[in-house]
A = this chain, B = another copy of it.
Amino acid sequence: MVAKRDGTQDKRPQRQAAPSVQDPPLSLERIIATAVELLDAEGLDGLKMRRLADRLGSGAMSLYWHVANKEQVFDLALDSVLEYRGPSQISDSPDWRQAVFHMLEDWRASMLRHPWSASLLPRRALGPNILGRLELLGSILSRAGVNEADLNGAIWSLWNYVMGATITRANFDLSDEDMLAGQQRLAHLSQEYPTIVRARLLLDNDWDGVFRKGLDFLLDGLVPRQ
């Protein structure tokens, strides 16, 4: 029997898993960055404090020195993912419509890159990054001619639209087999849901195109082209 040399085949939990380069010390930034990684990999339910600590090479309870509780981890991970580096000065460029599209499509793309963030955003407090986006949106619309009394409603209309489209898209991002299975189950009920089956509700959905088209319609209504 050969003595185990290098922990390659270890059975034990082995807490001290060869901190070869010695993990850097815990910090709020490192915790949040790792939480985002974990959320991306395992989804909302996959974020467990113990698992997060494991990834950080620390004991589970060490996190609580930097963070009040799990909810705060969610809040910080969420806002960290919503930063907008877009051309915030272009807001007074002549093409306000393009500026709105740019920010909203970037917002949607950010959430789709981290699908857990879409379902999380509506139920958490608004962090600075998302507030920054809303501020930018409001200022563009305002400069485009939306009067003050309608501004609140216009902002929320667009928020609602983006959130609905993104949450749906993020959650219906099924595997092809799932979609096929769903459609087959539907087809089996084609006399109960004839229109839906004809429309191929779960197939051939051009999510991006649908998003842009609806956004166009909404903007036409909110800021009539003159």
Contacts and interface: CB of A to CB of B under 8 A. Distances in A.
Given A138-B196, A142-B195, A171-B123, A214 B204 contact: no
B153 A164 contact: no
Contact of A168 (B163, B206, B217): B163
Given A159-B164, A161-B161, 14 more contacts: A122-B167, A138-B201, A142-B195, A148-B199, A151-B199, A153-B210, A157-B214, A159-B168, A160-B214, A163-B167, A164-B167, A167-B167, A218-B218, A221-B221
B201 A155 contact: yes
Contact of A195 (B138, B159, B193, B194): B138
A106 to B, nearest CB: 18
Interface in A144-182: 148, 151-153, 155-157, 159-165, 167-168, 171-172, 182
B135 A195 contact: yes
Among A139, A160, A162, A193, the most chain B Cβ lie within 10 Å of the Cβ of: A160
The 6 closest A-B CB pairs, nearest first, are A164-B164, A217-B221, A138-B195, A160-B164, A151-B199, A160-B165
9 contacts: A134-B196, A134-B201, A135-B195, A138-B201, A151-B195, A151-B199, A160-B165, A217-B218, A217-B221
Nearest to A219: B217
Contacts of A162: 164
A222 interface: yes
A138 to B, nearest CB: 4
B131 A196 contact: yes
Contacts of A196: 131, 134-135, 138, 155
**Chain A interface residue count: which class?**
35 or more
B119 A123 contact: yes
Among A138, A139, A151, A164, the most chain B Cβ lie within 10 Å of the Cβ of: A164
A116 to B, nearest CB: 11
A1 interface: yes
A79 B160 CA distance: 23
Contacts of A75: 1
Nearest to A159: B168
B152 A204 contact: yes
